[in-house]
Amino acid sequence: MSLLERARAVAARAALALPHPVQRMLAGRPVRRGGELLGVEPQLLLRLQRIGREPAIESLPIPEGRLATARQAALVAGDQPIGSVRDLDAGGVPARLYVPRGLAASEASGLLVYFHGGGFVYGDLETHDAVCRVLAEQAGVRVLAVDYRLAPEAPWPAAVDDAVAAYRWVVEHADELAADPGRIAVGGDSAGGNLAALVAIAAARAGWRCAFQLLVYPVTDMTASMESRRTFGTGLFLTTRFMDLGRDTYVPDRGSWTDPRVSPLFAELPEGLAPAYVATAALDPLRDEGEAYAARLAEAGAKVETRCFGGQIHGFVNMVGVGRSGPAAVAEIAAALRAAIG
């Protein structure tokens, strides 16, 4: 991180540590969209981004956009403690294992296989390092983050294939990871939530153990047909332009957008699906399709808990190092993970 980036991170942490009335003054007049009131902290972060003239990721060439994604993630990540971290190969897919403090190396625990967000084009192990640390520590479980292939270098179905291969490897090598075979879960955010949902479906069909699925504002409908896509698609971090770029790069053939391995909302859901926790953000373009998929899971007989975080925007799970509302939301998600496999 450069000196300028460090200064921006310090400024963000300082601004979001101020008393609420001061934050409100700095953030500007309250913003309401689609009947939802934008939280003060996300509004202030968005304003700081504009003041800093940070270019929109989707306006940059993809290599530069990936660097910008990493910079933005670092600004809000903070310094998150963890017991141990090591990189490994998960059946040919790069991965990183997080073990929380207080858990002995050989002590069996639950394990979450986690897929990062980033529109299938951006993101990696580093952009989601902080949230994986927090989930591991607060849930008291191991977390295995998967570095699946990205488009355009590897368009669909490469990411799905990597995700399924990595999960299958974890199930088959649970002993090596000190994972309790009966407490292996899958999870992810945004594009990673899409992959997690698809892995849970594949696991149910193949008879692999899957105790839980943690879906955080998952992409479930590539046709972009839901109302929230239109209501919240500008000015709230995740934009329509970004989503279109990610989709068109990942799945260039529009005829495949309704393929069930692209859009799980169109899948014929099998019996035996793992219980699910589906988290959405009130002012997120992906809110409606996340909630629609939760309803589909329930119709298929899966036990489902849904949680819409009021005032929040897309990306809040990365904001574990600044403010109060983002860390509080992630703590609530971690509590659900602990209850399921901890």
For residue 190, indicate whether it is catalytic: yes
Task: Please report, in angstroms and rounded to a whole number, the separation of the first and last CA atoms in the chain.
Answer: 34
How far is 157 from 52, CA to CA, in rounded Å? 37
Q: Which of 109, 128, 288, 314 is catalytic?
A: 314
What Rg, from alpha-carbon coordinates, does the chain have? 19
Q: Which of 124, 162, 180, 284 is catalytic?
A: 284
DSSP state of 73: H
Tell me how crowded residue 293 is: count the other CB atoms within 10 A of its CB: 28
Phi-psi region of 16 (alpha: psi -120 to 50; beta: other; left: phi over 0): alpha
Q: Which of 190, 228, 263, 325 is catalytic?
A: 190
How far is 326 from 279, CA to CA, in rounded Å? 13
User: What kind and span of H or E run contains 212?
Assistant: strand 212-216
User: Residue holding tokens 């479980």?
Assistant: 141
List Cα–Cα distances, 123 to 15, 66, 99, 205, 335, in angstroms: 26, 7, 22, 29, 25
Catalytic residues: 190, 284, 314
